[in-house]
Amino acid sequence: MSISPETVYENLSLLEQADVTTNALYRQQAQEILANQKVSLEWRQKIADRLYQANNRLTMVNIADNDSY
């Protein structure tokens, strides 16, 4: 599946509203873009920054008893 860096970047802004499966898909797509040397450094940096911010927000969320990582 080929997805544009722009789409991946936008999808990462939706992580907090996405269900668990969609969230995992968006994160996997981001990792694939980050590993793709054909994608410009500018786009890879933007995506890495947005993913980093999303990960930081995730650490701030309260964990319920039935949640796991």
Q: What is the mean pLDDT of the chain?
A: 90
Q: How many whole angstroms separate alpha carbon 57 and alpha carbon 14?
A: 13
Q: Does the pLDDT value for residue 65 go beyond 70?
A: no
Domain annotation covers residue 12: yes
Let me know: does 47 contact 10? Beta carbons within 8 Å: no
Q: Which two tokens stand for residue 28?
A: 């996997």
Q: What is the pTM of this model?
A: 0.82
The domain in which residue 23 lies consists of: 5-59
Domain annotation covers residue 33: yes
Higher pLDDT, 59 or 21: 21
Higher pLDDT, 44 or 59: 44
Q: Does the pLDDT value for residue 9 go beyond 70?
A: yes
State the sign of the Cα–Cα–Cα–Cα dihedral 66, 54, 18, 41.
negative
Q: In sequence order, what are the residues at sequence separation of 6 or more whose Cβ sits closer than 8 angstroms to the Cβ of residue 26?
A: 8, 11, 12, 14, 15, 18
Predicted confidence at residue 59, as pLDDT, reads: 82
Domain annotation covers residue 69: no
Structural domains in the chain (count): 1
